[in-house]
Structure 1
Amino acid sequence: MTDAGDNPPGPLSVVVPVCDEADSIPVVLRELLAKAGAAYDLDVVVVDDGSRDGSAEVVAAIAAGEPRVRLIRHKMRCGKSAALRTGVAAARNRWVGMIDGDGENDPDDLVAMAGWIDTARIGAVGLVAGNRRRRTAGPWRLVASRIANGIRRRALQDDCPDTACGLKVIPRDLFLALPYFDSLHRYMPALVRKYGFDVLNVPVDDRPRISGQSKYTNLRRALVGVVDLLGVYWLLRRTSVGALPFARDGDAE
């Protein structure tokens, strides 16, 4: 089910979290502005999450000559979910796309994902989630990811095969209404469903990263994932959603 297909161009904010990706972020922004910028009236928020390699300075130089790009800096590393929340809070448009700063995500996929909704309204769909096909990660990471995704899907019944994909499109106000915690970005499908919205899973490409590296080892990811999964399992069962804090088209007054 979709809210709209082949939607006309409209406003779209895009948040790009960055951590030590000075080599890749110019390529990512160039692609994003060329591809998504041709389809939407873009507002790009790059959040530098405590980089030490000059990523912030690279983005600042681009933003100085490109009014569609803005830079927000964290003084220290706070994590991807914190960077996304900072960027979404600063976003100017009703719908926000998310794309990683390491070059693994193709902006063409983001454009295709945004085409499933109408950026001028909020309807039944609350999240368009990218699901990576033909993963480029190493074999051990792929095995670990498949096991973790299987456990999460059974426990949370979120019906999403790949919650860790960086490509997502969500209403700004809905994201900000979700309970915040570290690793929130991995549990958005389950939480969005809890708030009464549909989630669309869209296949996307996975490219080798241009620069940067994974912030977690398989062991650390597994340990953190167990704690997070238990927390989200508890949270979903202790959360009652009443009236939404924002208007949704089609809801009764």
Structure 2
Amino acid sequence: MISPNLDIPEHPERPYLSVVVPAYNEEENVVPLAEEIIAALTTLPGGFELILVDDASTDATAHRIKQLKHPRVRAVYHRINCGQSAAVGSGFQAARGEWVATLDGDGQNDPADLPAMLEKAVHDGVDCVTGVRRKRQDNFIRRFSSRVANGFRNWITGDQVSDSGCGIRVVRRTALREIPVFNGMHRFLPTLLRGQGYTVAETTVNHRERLRGTSKYGVHNRLWRGIRDCFGIRWYLKRAVRSDRLDETRK
């Protein structure tokens, strides 16, 4: 845990951590999850902000977000449904913190993991810490399709990510400046960061059952789309100009 005695001054306009949560038709989850995040980060040195991104939900998600009056909560609303990666990208653009964290909007990621992940990133001197779900609470089909897609991703991209589908991560905000936003980006974020020359570490995290609402993903839009996207990522990695090389050129 980050020590509460750590001397990080709090600036309302420049919080230490920005937490981005994309939400689509999560009217039952968005308020309880926001309350959990606030409780988990109340004593965080340097302060935090919570950015809830409503991806043009057709239920009462936007209304629930507007009911939240906490001073650390900010909201972004999409006019049309653009997908989870676009919602995450909108949150990245709105973030003001030195570090940016992401969680899925379904409540299966545990906000209590965030302080330890941030502490690991700072202590290890890395640009990103990504979660690896411990005792994953999903049905067999979802676990199997994710395992197949994850292995295929690593084979095609040449990267080694233990759980690319895990939505809880902590990333240095400056490392996000050149990450392209496309449908599926959130699943490849660790690989994209490494492709730009940034450092990524992994840590085990808690995973919970979905208690409310319904999943937006199945075999079609998770397994097959992810496998197809791998070829695009391989193309991008071979042609990307690494940020660390640009920095060396400027010196």
Question: What TM-score comes out, normalization by structure 2 length?
Answer: 0.88
- CA distance in 1 between counterparts of 2:7 and 2:141 reads 41
Q: How does 1:1-253 map to 2 (within 5 A)?
A: 6=2, 8=6, 10=8, 11-40=16-45, 41-62=47-68, 65-118=69-122, 125-242=126-243, 253=251
CA drift at 1:116:
1.2
**Aligned pair in 2 of structure 1 residues 243, 198: CA closer, same or farther (>3 Å)?**
closer
- For 1:61-103, what per-residue CA distance to the aligned partner results, in whole angstroms no more than 9, with x for missing partners? 11xx211001110012111110011111111112101111211
CA drift at 1:9:
7.3
Secondary structure of 2:85's counterpart equals helix
CA drift at 1:222:
2.4
In structure 2, what residue type is equivalent to 1:55? Answer: T
CA drift at 1:162:
0.6
- For 1:188-211, what per-residue CA distance to the aligned partner results, in whole angstroms no more than 9, with x for missing partners? 111111111211111001101232
4+ runs deviating over 6 angstroms: none
- For 1:157-187, what per-residue CA distance to the aligned partner results, in whole angstroms no more than 9, with x for missing partners? 3221111111011122322311221111111
**Structure 1 residues without counterparts, runs of 5 or longer:** none
- Residues matched between the structures, number: 241
CA drift at 1:110:
1.4
- For 1:8-49, what per-residue CA distance to the aligned partner results, in whole angstroms no more than 9, with x for missing partners? 375111001111111111111111001122224111110000
CA drift at 1:115:
1.0
**Aligned pair in 2 of structure 1 residues 37, 220: CA closer, same or farther (>3 Å)?**
same
**Aligned pair in 2 of structure 1 residues 81, 252: CA closer, same or farther (>3 Å)?**
same
**Aligned pair in 2 of structure 1 residues 234, 99: CA closer, same or farther (>3 Å)?**
same
Identity fraction in percent: 35
Are the aligned partners of 1:130 and 1:202 in contact in 2 as well (CA < 8 Å)? yes
Q: After alignment, is 155-164 or 22-31 more displaced? A: 155-164
- CA distance in 1 between counterparts of 2:193 and 2:163 reads 15
- CA distance in 1 between counterparts of 2:172 and 2:230 reads 24
